[in-house]
Amino acid sequence: MLYTIALILLILWALGLVTSVTMGGFVHALLVIAIILVIFRLVSGRKVL
């Protein structure tokens, strides 16, 4: 589930970069959140069903 959320956030971030429609630091906040989720997933070490 965390990978799904992180993937969605990364896609939204990339879409913001490609379309040049950004709302200040919002797009970069999405990237930071996605990276934090991925790192949390790797550190927690839980297995996917």
| Confidence (pLDDT) at 23 | 61
d(CA 49, CA 45): 13
Q: What percent of the chain has pLDDT over 90?
A: 0
Structural domain spans, the chain: 2-44
| Confidence (pLDDT) at 43 | 86
| Confidence (pLDDT) at 42 | 82
pTM for this prediction: 0.48
Residues (pLDDT < 50) of the chain are none
Dihedral angle, C-alpha 36, 39, 40, 42, nearest 10 °: 160
| Confidence (pLDDT) at 39 | 83
